[in-house]
Structure 1
Amino acid sequence: MDGTSYGYTTDVRYRDLDPRGHVNHVVYVSYMEQAKGAFLREVVGVALDEVNTVVRSLDVEYERSIESGQQVTVDLRVENVGETSFTIAYRLSADGRLVATAETVSVLLDERGKPRAIPDRWRRRIEEYDRGDRGEPM
């Protein structure tokens, strides 16, 4: 992942574990969603539950398991902002070791569920963050 990334860290919870004591594979995606929500709130200035987005595509490459008691860090970077969608690349690590890489494409929808344009304010905040300008979200 090149360029500026956003970091989000969380602890592994008991409910994240499968019967073998590993974090279930779908929980990796939950960690990514938590990181995306934090990024949108802290950088873009919008709460994930206040905007209507859907994931159009998801690609995950699992490298190793996450164990009970570990801390998970999700580094993400907005790779592309299109007309109605944005692409995010993710790098997940547990206690400093790579556990997965992933990419999502999310589409912004209007109140009728139809794709709508990504607001210019979002684009500006993402560009400012990528350049290293860490001003307060609008």
Structure 2
Amino acid sequence: MDAFGHVNNNQFMVLLEEARVSMMFTTAAEAGLTGFRDGVVVARHEVDYLLPVVVPAAIRVELWIERIGNASFTFAYELSADDKLALRAKSVMVPFDTETQRPRRITAEEREFLQQWTD
């Protein structure tokens, strides 16, 4: 909560991260894809706060893949509180090789997985 009794803007980023991580790690692993677990970083966040959110509230995060490039992909999100759209956001993600500490290209398997989540 912030000083005005609203959910703090940083907490929204945590909610978006939890949704994103669930898809990239849990759902991808269930599909036999483990590449994102090996490394992926956030290159950019873009957030539009549309309404303040107070607790308690029923929060729902919907996410999809908006764009897939050769070495990055973009998540799009809509966060609703009590069935009212409260936030729209995007995150540009970059697959990352933790051994070389360098970005890497998206594999064919990762692209296939991500494409099923495009709008």
TM-score, normalization: structure 1?
0.74
Q: Is the 8 A contact 2:40 2:93 kept in 1?
A: yes
Number of the residue aligned with 2:76: 89
Q: Please, which runs of 5 or more residues in structure 1 have no aligned partner? A: 1-16, 132-138
Q: Any idea what SS the aligned residue of 2:116 has?
A: helix
Q: Please, which runs of 5 or more residues in structure 2 have no aligned partner? A: none
Bigger drift between 81-90 and 34-43 goes to 34-43
Alpha carbon RMSD of aligned pairs, Å? Answer: 2.2
| Identical counterparts, % of pairs | 30
Cα deviation for residue 73 of structure 1 reads 0.8
Give the Cα–Cα distance (whole angstroms) in 2 for the partners of residues 129 and 113 of structure 1. Answer: 28
Cα deviation for residue 19 of structure 1 reads 3.3
Q: How does 1:19-30 map to 2 (within 5 A)?
A: 19-30=3-14
Cα deviation for residue 127 of structure 1 reads 2.3
Number of the residue aligned with 2:40: 53
Q: Any idea what SS the aligned residue of 1:44 has?
A: helix
Q: Any idea what SS the aligned residue of 2:19 has?
A: helix
Segments of 4+ moved more than 4 angstroms: 46-49
Cα deviation for residue 130 of structure 1 reads 4.6
TM-score, normalization: structure 2?
0.84
Q: Is the 8 A contact 1:37 1:48 kept in 2?
A: no
How many pairs are equivalent?
115
| CA 88–130 in structure 1, closer or farther in 2 if over 3 Å, else same | closer
| CA 47–93 in structure 1, closer or farther in 2 if over 3 Å, else same | farther
